[in-house]
Amino acid sequence: MGLVRRDGRLVRVALGSRERVFDFGDGPATGLNVSWGDLATAYYTTGVPDIETYVEATPLFRAVLAGCRLFGSVLGTAPWQAAMRAWAELLPEHPAGTPAGEMVVVADAEDQAGRRVRARVRTPEAYEFTGTSAAGIAQRVLRGDHETGFQTPARVYGPDLVLAFPGVSREDLA
């Protein structure tokens, strides 16, 4: 099961049941809904009441989604979880010679008057970028550059925060 945000509340929808077309940089591509943390962070950063998150519907993603639908109840059992942990331990941490990956995020927002803005952000691979950005934000907090209480990084440091990290660029789209 997946989630979207409607009128400020999280609402269940079937994972991968909603489709939209985005341009991730290589022309139009289909995206399918997923439940990302942005459903919470974007809401607390902007106050926007209706939010959906999507991922490009590559053949691999569609296959994983189909596998989860067919075998999801089995994959959550203790024996399967133990087997998957054992298989994961056999994988190298970072295969030598693997080129650094890139992540492309497309933001598309529309207000009640129908005005729309779009931007495309390119970052290093998601796990690498998460570590780099978390460390950078922690350094700011340790220097005293923070607000107390529950906050999102973009709410405290602004929409250009990500541009301060290496390998990140943003393109405002028409």
DSSP string, 28-82: EEEEEEE--THHHHHHHHH--S-B-EEEE--HHHHHHHHHHHHHHHHHTSHHHHH
Beta bridge partners of 171: 120
pTM of the model: 0.76
173: Cβ contacts below 8 Å, ≥ 6 apart: 23, 106, 118, 119, 120
Average pLDDT value for the chain: 89
When pLDDT is cut at 50, 70 and 90, the band that residue 174 belongs to is confident
* C-beta of residue 122 within 8 angstroms of C-beta of residue 107: no
Q: Where are the domains of the chain?
A: 95-174
Residue 72, pLDDT score: 80
